[in-house]
Amino acid sequence: MVYQAILERDPGHLESLNAVLAIAIQSGQLERVVQLCDAMIARKQDQAEPYYKRANAFNGLGRWERALTDYDRAIDLNPAYSHAFCNRGVVLEQLHRWDEALKSYDRALALDPEDFLSHCNRGSVLRKLKRFEEALISYDQAIAIKSDYVEAYFYRGAVLHELGRFDAAIASHDKAIEFTPSGLLPYMAYSSRAYALVELKRFDQALASYGQAIALKGDYAEAHYGRGLALHQVGRLEDALASYEHAVALQDDYAEAYINRGSVLLELRRYEAAVSSFDRAIELKAMHARLFQGRGLALRQLRRLDEALTSFERAISIKSECADFHVDRANVLLEVGRYEAALASYDQAIELKSSYVEALQGRGFALLNLKRLEAAIASFDQALAVNPDQKYLFGLRRHLKMQICDWKDLETDIEKLTKGLQAGIPVSTPFPMLALIDSAPVHRLAAKLWAEEQYPQDDSLGPISMRLPASKIHIAYFSPDFRNHPVSLLTSELFEIHDRSRFHVTAIAFGPKTDDSVRTRLEHAFDGFIEVGDQSDIQVASLARSLGVDIAVDLAGFTEHGRTKVFALRAAPIQISYLGYLGTMAAPYMDYLLADAMIIPGSEQQHYMEKIIYLPSYQANDSKRRIAERTFTREELGLPREGFVFACFNANYKITPATFEVWMRILGQVQGGNLFLYVGDQVAERNIHKEGERRGIDSRRIVFGEKLVFEEYLARFRAVDLFLDTLPYNAGTTASDALWAGLPVLTCMGQAFAGRVAASLLTAINLPELITSTPAQYEELAVELATNPRMMAHIRQKLAANRLAAPLFNTAQFARTLEAAYTQIYERYNAGLRPEHVNIERSGWSQ
């Protein structure tokens, strides 16, 4: 090269320096540009041009402080050097010295008002300073000078987007695409255009625009990410996930893509993968509050509650003014039993957002667990005032009011609940309906709505492969109540005496851990006792499959701490509902429901989605229950020494005004008669006394008992004369307790499962004369028994004779019959037959 040869002989030859410098600049040899400029400056230090060109080279090399020094020197030498002011502004932007950059562009424009680049760059600084209207003016000025200025159209579109003027933003991006220059490539404009279309909910057009961006540049991670956002919004979760996967495959440090990928995985209930995606974003130093919220939600589903709590607290530390995060934190605190802390967290959310329905509702649950029932109801009322259609809350509120025996507006509420369920509106969870309405069809509606929305069938684990029949049938009982709880008080002996030569029996415990004597007994009653409270639903279902469980028995159903999702995932090839929830679960994955012909007559099968296993007697019992030797006197219990004493120790929510009305009429006809209740709440006591007095009954005739240890609780039944049952939700465990202690139980049989349990028990103990079918019969028989000592004595004698002879408390016979049922449905499954109603004969039962 001629000029290069000259420079080798004469390094200061200006003409050659200029020629070689021009080539170096054109070919992007920035270090060479610096060297050549150094030589020129050494020769002539009073010229601005070499400083300007060296500054440009330093700018390109990212050596911004050196570039700034040279631009300043060029300007000192030539104060009218508009390009130097313009490029100086670019360097100041790199140094985040926004105000100085803006001034530099203003100086450039003062010198050359037609400098479209300075107008455009000035707009970019204003955009970064969020002075969007001013930025728009700058971009418009650039375009007025250069009508095909693509970069200005593109950034103008971005500013219009920030201003919420999405149609105008799209039009501006369209112009950028139309001119398709060198410099800004059109794929970026297509992508930004699509983003604005998403804001306008024009998703099909947005997806098409993202597609055009990707067609032009398949490795453009941002377009794949944006496409994922659009697909996410239209509910195409799998497609959205694929787009986010493309984005992170192309750009492994794309934190936002990992965050949104985690959100989609959360919605797809792939919780482990969601946590991993959120964790990757954290590794990339992403500190978005929503990231920690999503991670916490996934961890909660995985039952990693301590970690979930930490994650929500991290979200709060980043953005404490977000009410959502306080509610998320409170929900976990509620779940782990830290009720005071949960209440405080809900209150924080409400302070931030007074009309936050979920916070008001959660606050109600915290107060409920703290036994502050009136305050809980008030919180539910506030939530319903904000949103009368809040799912399930109306029924929960009514159930809570029943717990304090507040019956105001009960008939109106029941009518609303019934009509709502019939219209397919989720006005209540299933359980409250059992005690409010004596209707199996309505109970099925409530269960169906709940199961379909909260616990739909989930095929994530795939079907269970058929196995060769084993020498022993593996039965697993699933319960949150393996503790001092009615379900376990009934079933403890059953678990102990299952035939181990034919059955392997496992407990899957997922409820609150306790150290009471019932829990200790149960831990020794099974072949395996597995605590899974800290495992996710999918982990529990997978565990059951890995254990080879043949028959899974759900002892909870739709009751507190139940884990229905485990059964939705199909924990075993045969799944049975028993004892905890007295009704259909209306879920396709529950194959059978245990009952007897008294509880579900054949004509009523249509109201139950499960196939019915008809046992001779429905309810298991424990014949080892010990009754204290102590004999209570009437005076000890606060009862009068003389007079007939009726009793009912059913839960408060089972006492309806219709039942109470009959009780008061009975007391009105039995001189000296008294009613002995256990309500366990002062507000409920006041309400009961008020309701009694309103019906003309002296409040002193209604006496309340205290909570006693179990053996003494059973002994107390001996101090009273007759147990009065409730309707529409009968006594179950409590009726068994009374009969075991020798106290006759009078029931009025209803239409639905929960209203026919006591009739089943009385049939199994051969006392059908205590079963009535109308409130009038119930009232008449109660009065007759109370006023006819001979008749009452006969009933007591018959109960005493039947107590150990009749089937009700013959646990060994019950176990053999239940095992016959298990064997029959197991053989049916292995024969490839679908579940069908099963009737286990009463043969071998003592009468």
Question: With 70 as the cut, is the pLDDT of residue 528 above it?
Answer: yes
Q: Which of 582, 660, 580 is nearest to 402 (CA)?
A: 660
Compute the average pLDDT of residues 683-710: 96
Q: What pLDDT score does 398 carry?
A: 98
What kind and span of H or E run contains 105?
helix 98-111
Distance CA 494, CA 504 (A): 13
Question: With 50 as the cut, is the pLDDT of residue 216 above it?
Answer: yes
Q: Are 835 and 591 in contact (CB under 8 A)?
A: yes
Compute the average pLDDT of residues 286-299: 96
Extract the tokens encoding 139. 């971009």
Q: What pLDDT score does 846 carry?
A: 46
Written as one string, the DSSP assignment of 147-186 is TT-HHHHHHHHHHHHHTT-HHHHHHHHHHHHHH--SSS-H
Compute the average pLDDT of residues 82-106: 94
Q: Is the peptide bond before 728 cis (omega within 30 degrees of 0)?
A: yes
Distance CA 497, CA 227 (A): 61
Question: With 80 as the cut, is the pLDDT of residue 843 above it?
Answer: no
Q: What pLDDT score does 740 carry?
A: 98
SS (H, E, C) 643-682: CCEEEECCCHHHCCHHHHHHHHHHHHHCCCCEEEECCCCH
Question: With 50 as the cut, is the pLDDT of residue 656 above it?
Answer: yes
Compute the average pLDDT of residues 460-469: 92
Question: With 60 as the cut, is the pLDDT of residue 1 above it?
Answer: no
Superfamily of domain 289-420: Tetratricopeptide repeat domain (1.25.40.10)
Sign of CA dihedral 44, 45, 47, 51: positive
Q: What pLDDT score does 541 carry?
A: 98
pLDDT tier at 39 (50, 70, 90 boundaries)? confident
Compute the average pLDDT of residues 569-581: 98
Extract the tokens encoding 143. 């375009």
pTM of the model: 0.84
pLDDT, tens digit, 9 for 90 and up, residues 331-342? 999 999 999 999
Q: What pLDDT score does 290 carry?
A: 94
Compute the average pLDDT of residues 22-51: 87
Distance CA 230, CA 431 (A): 40
Residue boundaries of the structural domains of the chain: 289-420, 459-623+832-847, 645-809
Q: Are 563 and 532 in contact (CB under 8 A)?
A: no
Burial of 539 (0-12, 13-18, 19+ CB in 10 A): middle
* Phi, psi values for residue 646, rounded to 5°: -85, 150
Compute the average pLDDT of residues 517-544: 96
What's at 494, amino acid-wise? L
Instruction: Find the Cα–Cα–Cα–Cα dihedral 406, 411, 417, 419, rounded to 10°.
Output: -170
Compute the average pLDDT of residues 197-206: 91
Question: With 70 as the cut, is the pLDDT of residue 844 above it?
Answer: no
Provide the CATH number for the domain formed by 459-623+832-847 in this structure: 3.40.50.11380
Q: What pLDDT score does 6 carry?
A: 55
Q: What pLDDT score does 15 carry?
A: 65
Distance CA 337, CA 370 (A): 10
Extract the tokens encoding 701. 């005739």
3.40.50.300, 3.50.50.60, 3.40.50.1110, 3.40.50.2000: which CATH number matches 645-809?
Answer: 3.40.50.2000
Sheet containing strand 771-772, edge to edge, reads 702-704, 674-677, 645-648, 722-724, 745-748, 771-772
Compute the average pLDDT of residues 498-512: 95
Report the range of poorest mean pLDDT among 45-49, 257-261, 546-550, 602-606.
45-49
Please check whether the two domains, 459-623+832-847 and 645-809, share a CATH topology. yes
Distance CA 300, CA 294 (A): 10
SS (H, E, C) 181-234: CCCCCHHHHHHHHHHHHHHCCCHHHHHHHHHHHHHHCCCCHHHHHHHHHHHHHC
Report the range of poorest mean pLDDT among 58-62, 149-153, 801-805.
149-153
Q: Which of 493, 540, 536, 532 is nearest to 510 (CA)?
A: 532
pLDDT tier at 13 (50, 70, 90 boundaries)? low
pLDDT, tens digit, 9 for 90 and up, residues 167-201? 998 898 888 888 875 445 688 888 888 888 989 99
Distance CA 364, CA 347 (A): 11
Q: What pLDDT score does 46 carry?
A: 86
Q: Helix, strand or coil for residue 624? A: coil
pLDDT, tens digit, 9 for 90 and up, residues 132-150? 999 999 999 999 999 988 8
Mean predicted lDDT score pLDDT of the chain = 94
